Amino acid sequence: MEKTRLDKLVSNAFHISRKEAKDRIAGGKVSIDGVVRRDASLCFDTAARVTCEGIEGTYRSHVYIMMNKPEGVVSAATDKTATAALSLLPDDMKRHDLFIAGRLDKNTTGFLLVTNDGAFAHNILSPKKHVPKTYLATLARDLKESDVGMFAEGICLGEEHCKPARLEIVSERVARVTVVEGKFHQIKRMFHAVGNEVVALKREKIGALSLDETLLPGDARYITEEELKMIKQNLFDQDECS
Ligand code: URA
C-alpha cells in the first residue's frame, strides 16, 4: 500500500497544482472514500476513492508531462553552465524520478516529453516502434522538390542509414519533417546531407499528439489520459513511416 499527503494525491489525480489542490481541500470540495477531508497534510492510501467537486479521480504513480522547451535550455535535469529543462518545472511538478524521453538540442525548441515511466519512454524512443516525431525546420537555403524523394528513400548519414522520413515543403525555406527514430542531431544531419543547413528547429508533435500551443516557452503541463493514448496509439510495428 502506497500512502501520500492529501494535497499531493489530489494534485496528481486531477492534474492540478499543489496550490489548487490545497484550495479545493480547504474549501471542502474533496472527499476520500465518501468523507470530506479538509486537512491537506493527512496521508491516505493512493488507491483510496478520491473525488473533487463530485468528480472521481485516479492517482497515478506514473506521470507524463509536456514542456514547451525554450531555446538555449539543455535537455537535462541539471547543468553547470546552462539552464536545465527539468529545473523549469514548477515546484509541485518536480519529482526526483523524472527524466526526459527524447532529448532536444540546446537550440531546438518545442515538445519535450518528461516522465518517470521507463517502459513507456523505451517504447516512444525505440526505432522498432516507429513512433513518429514531427519537426518544423527553417533552412538556410531554398528547399528542392528532389529533397522530398531523398528523405522518403532514407538519407545516408555516413555509415548510418536513416529510415524513410516524410518531408513536406511548407515554404521556400520552411519544411515539416516526420521521422520515426531519433539519431543524434538527426534532422540537422539529414538536411546537411542534401546540401542545406537548419537554422531553427522546433518539435511540434510526438505520435499523434501536438504541442499545446497555449504553453509559453518554458511552461509545462500534465498530459491527459486521452492525450497519452494519442501517443501510445502509434506504438505498433510497421514497415514504413506512413
Ligand atoms: N534532430 C536534431 O537535429 N536536433 C534535435 O534537437 C532533434 C532532432
Query: Greatest CA span in the chain, whole angstroms?
Result: 66
Nearest CA to ligand 1 atom 2: 185
The pLDDT score that the predictor gives to residue 236 is: 62
Q: Pick from 80, 201, 68, 83: which is nearest to 137 by CA?
A: 201
Q: Which residues pair with 179 in a beta bridge?
A: 133
The C-alpha atoms of residue 42 and residue 29 are separated, in whole angstroms, by 15
Q: How many helices (H) and strands (E) does the chain have?
A: 6, 19
Whether the CB-CB separation of 231 and 123 falls below 8 Å is answered with no
The pLDDT score that the predictor gives to residue 216 is: 98
Q: Say if strands 220-222 and 64-69 run parallel, antiparallel, or are unpaired.
A: antiparallel
Domains and CATH numbers, the chain: 3-57 (3.10.290.10), 62-130+209-233 (3.30.70.580), 132-206 (3.30.70.1560)
Question: Is residue 104 lining ligand 1, measured as CB closer than 6 Å?
Answer: yes
- Ligand 1 centroid–CA 136 distance in Å is 10
Mutational test site, ligand 1, from 186, 206, 211, max ligand atoms within 8 Å of CB = 186
| Rounded CA Rg of the chain | 21
Alpha-carbon dihedral of residues 23, 29, 35, 41, nearest 10 degrees? -10
The pLDDT score that the predictor gives to residue 233 is: 79
Question: Is residue 100 lining ligand 1, measured as CB closer than 6 Å?
Answer: no
pLDDT in tens, the chain (242 residues): 889 999 999 988 887 888 999 999 999 999 999 999 999 999 999 999 999 999 999 898 899 999 999 999 999 999 999 999 999 999 878 887 899 999 999 999 999 999 999 999 999 998 888 899 999 999 999 999 999 999 999 999 999 999 999 999 999 999 999 999 999 999 999 999 999 999 999 999 999 999 999 999 999 999 998 999 999 876 665 544 44
CB half-sphere exposure, 115, CA atoms < 13 A = 20
Nearest CA to ligand 1 atom 3: 185
User: Is 23 annotated in the active site?
Assistant: no
Q: Output the pTM of the full model.
A: 0.82
Of 45, 105, 212, 219, which is the active-site residue?
A: 105
> Which pairs from 11-16 meet CB under 8 Å and 24+ separation?
11/92, 12/59, 12/60, 12/63, 13/50, 13/52, 13/57, 13/58, 13/59, 13/60, 14/52, 14/55, 14/57, 15/221, 15/222, 15/224
Q: What cell numbers appear for 179 in the block?
A: 521521422
